[in-house]
Amino acid sequence: MKSSVERLNPTKVKIVVEVSPEEFAPAVKAAYRDAARDVAVPGFRKGKVPARILDQRLGKFAVVDFAIERSMEGWINQLFKEHSLKPIGQAETDIDSRPAGLDDSQGVKFVVEVEVRPDVKLPDLTTLTVTVPTRQVSSEQVDEAIEDLRIRFATLVDVDRPASKGDFVSIDMTATSGGTELDSVSGLSYEVGSGDTMAGLDEAIDGLSAGETTTFEELVNHGAHAGSTALVEVTVRSVKERELPELDDDFAQLVSEFDTVAELRQEVEETLLNQMSRTQLNEAGRRLPGIIADAVDMPVPEGILADRRKYLVSDSTSDPERAKELEAMLVKDLRDEMAADLLAETLKIELTQQDLINQLLMAASQVGADPSEFVEQTERDGTIHVYARRAIRTRAIDTALLQVTAVDDDGTPVDLAAIFNEMQQDDDDSGVDDDWDDETDDD
């Protein structure tokens, strides 16, 4: 098979291919043999239909085209291997000439156009610097964390007054439409102002006391009455408010292993600092692909970019400024993915089962799905390879982070390897698999 490659741009090539008659003949013979077996022609036994009869019945080029179709994937893979091309898009083919039947001694000439990874080389990772947020915690952040603890250990006490934002009420609700009861609930505990249920509920019960009833209207979004307006009657059965525990040494002993509030504050601050270390590591992983993409001047495959534009919601592109932001986001995501792929290839990263499991578990958690059902779904719809690609990219970035230089916003060096080792030790102690947070999307 003869072929020549022309680079149309940094991410797209054109391959002109010529398959000789001798190379194509076995595929053509096999296609005619299969057609003779599968096509029923009166007067002929299965498998004994002559080639000229098949051409008359199916069309002069039908069987040849079938032979080409069956051979094309193998030809294209061979071309990629021979010319060291790494495709990142679907190959487009155009047949220039082909034989008109079994007895035609022509070969096949065709053209392939495909987007490929650009010919760029990964820079020396030790020369790259990634900047991460400064590891610091303010006294206000410590105060907020301790206040969250007080709220968590608060008790609810009955109050004899109208309900207001932040109170907890016990309510009964009944929704009707056209005299038909749609739904009802009794004894529902609800935090006023949380907005966790119907849109009009907070406004309706704000100011109601125990024993009082009111109504409001709500649009029905599902079921047989979807699109209609429901009348919702709500009765407040009780009103409670949070009573926070005093912030004293007794509280410190209740919520922790420490004896004093001062010790508790110190522990909370240390916990927040450790969380900040994780944030530094995650931010380094998020930023590194962009740094690499800039360092190698990573070009953007226009075909893939055009495909991704198709998935944008039309309303999101009606505003010129928003459309500009989305375009920049698409370009950045694509360049980051290509940089991560360059890392994986250069560092010779291989997919491990644990990496794939971690990626699938994280994805299932993000969409609130049962992990087992999520994995089965990816196998059924054939998308598991997407998560495998993400897992490889994540591992590549993880590996690279141990080689680059990191500094915080103040210019102070940050030891990412030490942070990772601490995280790994913490995860090992808690029985959790480590998984750094890689936010690049897959194509």
How many whole angstroms separate alpha carbon 437 and alpha carbon 278?
9
Whether residues 262 and 210 fall in one domain: no
Domain of 98: which CATH number?
3.30.70.1050
Domain termination residue (choose one: 192, 212, 243): 243
Residue whose tokens read 């199916």: 58
Q: How many domains does the chain have?
A: 3
Whether residues 267 and 220 fall in one domain: no
Sign, CA dihedral 319-324-326-330, equals positive
Sign, CA dihedral 360-362-367-368, equals positive
Whether residues 210 and 257 fall in one domain: no
Residue 250 CB neighbours (<10 A): 12
The DSSP element (H or E) to which 215 belongs, if any, is strand 213-219
Is residue 440 in a domain? no
Domain of 402: which CATH number?
1.10.3120
Is residue 148 in a domain? no
Residue whose tokens read 């010919």: 119
Angle, CA 425 vertex, CA 419 and CA 430 arms, to 5°: 125
Coil/strand/helix, residue 312:
coil
Residue whose tokens read 């119907």: 198
How many whole angstroms separate alpha carbon 39 and alpha carbon 45?
10
Whether residues 423 and 288 fall in one domain: yes
Coil/strand/helix, residue 111:
strand
Distance of CA 351 to the CA centre of its chain: 18
Is residue 143 in a domain? no
Q: Which residues contact 303 (CB under 8 A, 6 or more apart)?
A: 12, 89, 115
Write the DSSP symbol of residue 48: -
Backbone angles phi, psi at 68, to 5 degrees: -65, -45
Residue 157 CB neighbours (<10 A): 10
Whether residues 213 and 236 fall in one domain: yes
Whether residues 239 and 258 fall in one domain: no
Whether residues 324 and 403 fall in one domain: yes
Domain termination residue (choose one: 218, 243, 268): 243
State in Å, rounded, how far the first CA of the chain is from the last one: 32
How many whole angstroms separate alpha carbon 214 and alpha carbon 236?
9
Sheet hosting strand 92-97, strand order edge to edge: 2-9, 12-19, 108-115, 92-97
Residue 401 CB neighbours (<10 A): 20
Is residue 92 in a domain? yes
Tokens of 310: 């198709």
How many whole angstroms separate alpha carbon 386 and alpha carbon 393?
11
Whether residues 340 and 197 fall in one domain: no
Whether residues 50 and 80 fall in one domain: yes
Is residue 136 in a domain? no
Is residue 124 in a domain? no
Contact 67, 31 (CB under 8 A): yes
Tokens of 29: 């013979």
Whether residues 211 and 347 fall in one domain: no
DSSP conformation letters of 315-359: GGGSSHHHHHHHHHHHHHHHHHHHHHHHHHHHTT----HHHHHHH
Residue 236: predicted pLDDT:
96
Is residue 222 in a domain? yes
Domain termination residue (choose one: 243, 275, 292): 243
How many whole angstroms separate alpha carbon 167 and alpha carbon 292?
51
Q: Which domain holds residue 239?
A: 155-243
Whether residues 210 and 261 fall in one domain: no
Total residues belonging to the chain: 443
Residue-by-residue pLDDT tens, the chain, 443 positions? 999 999 999 999 999 999 999 999 999 889 888 888 777 777 677 767 777 777 777 777 888 888 899 999 999 999 999 999 999 989 999 999 988 777 777 899 999 999 999 999 999 999 999 999 999 999 999 999 999 999 999 999 999 999 999 999 999 999 998 888 998 999 999 999 998 888 889 999 999 999 999 999 988 877 777 778 899 999 999 999 999 999 999 999 999 999 999 999 999 999 999 999 999 999 999 999 999 999 999 999 999 999 888 887 655 557 888 888 999 999 999 999 999 999 999 999 999 999 999 999 999 999 989 999 999 999 999 899 999 999 999 999 999 999 999 999 999 999 999 998 888 777 666 544 444 344 444 44
Whether residues 239 and 257 fall in one domain: no
Is residue 435 in a domain? no
